[in-house]
């Protein structure tokens, strides 16, 4: 498969990171691999921590012309000069986010394994729909998102689809023909060398 036909990489940050070191690590990843978008996905609800993380990563991402979206926090997008929001409640708040952020912002929706939620999110104006977990994971639902869901979506729906959750080289190899993006986060940040770990996953696309 040519590089042009391969799914793109959508990078998800760790749920927590050190401001003193992570931006530089992220920069190394972006300088080594082609990344389509980054999602700031901090687990904390502390607005100051999220804001400082957003400002630091925005500088790294935008210096390399990579979009940065934030998990859930619609109100923080414009305040921190981000490119959009990733919603975790399926189709429910897509219209609200689109109205708040305007037509140019990226609005994405995680829809678990629900074809119905995915279609609703697409109709409400989502720029992409995310299904997962693809592997065995605590993300979303305990049932993995089946390959058939991605296959059907890719054939029938024009809204780009993202595969996420507990991805392995074998799963990436299997899902490469039926997804537009792979969302990769913990799969690489838990490794000693995230840059090399991501390279191995990208190589699995063939």
Of the chain, the end-to-end C-alpha distance in Å amounts to: 6
CATH number for region 8-203: 3.20.20.70
Rounded Cα–Cα distance for residues 23 and 29 (Å): 10
The DSSP code for 128 is E
pTM for the full predicted model: 0.96
pLDDT per residue rounded down to tens, the chain (206 residues): 566 789 999 999 999 999 999 999 999 999 999 999 999 999 999 999 999 999 999 999 999 999 999 999 999 999 999 999 999 999 999 999 999 999 999 999 999 999 999 999 999 999 999 999 999 865 555 689 999 999 999 999 999 999 999 999 999 999 999 999 999 999 999 999 999 999 999 999 99
Helix 147-156 / helix 115-124 crossing angle, nearest 10 deg:
30
- Nearest Cα neighbor of 132 from 154, 98, 164, 160 is 164
Q: Which residues pair with 86 in a beta bridge?
A: 71, 108
The helices-and-strands tally (H runs, E runs) of the chain is 9, 8
Q: Cα angle vertex 131, ends 130, 132, to 5°?
A: 125
Contacting residues for 111 by C-beta, under 8 A, at least 6 apart: 90, 91, 117, 118, 121, 129, 130, 131
């Amino acid at each position: 498969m040519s590089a042009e036909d391969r799914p793109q990489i959508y990078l998800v940050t760790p749920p927590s990171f050190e401001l003193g070191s992570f931006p530089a690590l992220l920069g190394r990843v972006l300088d080594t691999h082609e990344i389509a978008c980054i999602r700031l996905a901090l687990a904390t609800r502390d607005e100051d921590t999220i804001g400082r993380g957003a400002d630091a990563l925005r500088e790294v991402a935008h210096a390399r012309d990579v979009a940065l979206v934030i998990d859930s926090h619609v109100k923080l997008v414009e305040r921190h000069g981000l490119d959009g929001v990733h919603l975790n409640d399926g189709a429910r708040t897509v219209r609200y986010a689109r109205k708040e952020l305007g037509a140019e912002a990226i609005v994405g929706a995680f829809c678990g394994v629900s074809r119905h939620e995915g279609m609703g999110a697409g109709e409400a104006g989502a720029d992409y729909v995310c299904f997962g977990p693809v592997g065995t994971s605590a993300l979303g639902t305990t049932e993995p998102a089946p390959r058939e869901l991605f296959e059907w979506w890719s054939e029938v729906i024009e809204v780009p689809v993202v595969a996420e959750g507990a991805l392995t080289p074998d799963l990436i190899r299997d899902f490469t023909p039926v997804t537009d993006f792979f969302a990769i986060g913990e799969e690489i940040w838990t490794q000693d060398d995230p840059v090399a770990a991501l390279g191995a996953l990208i190589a699995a696309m063939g």
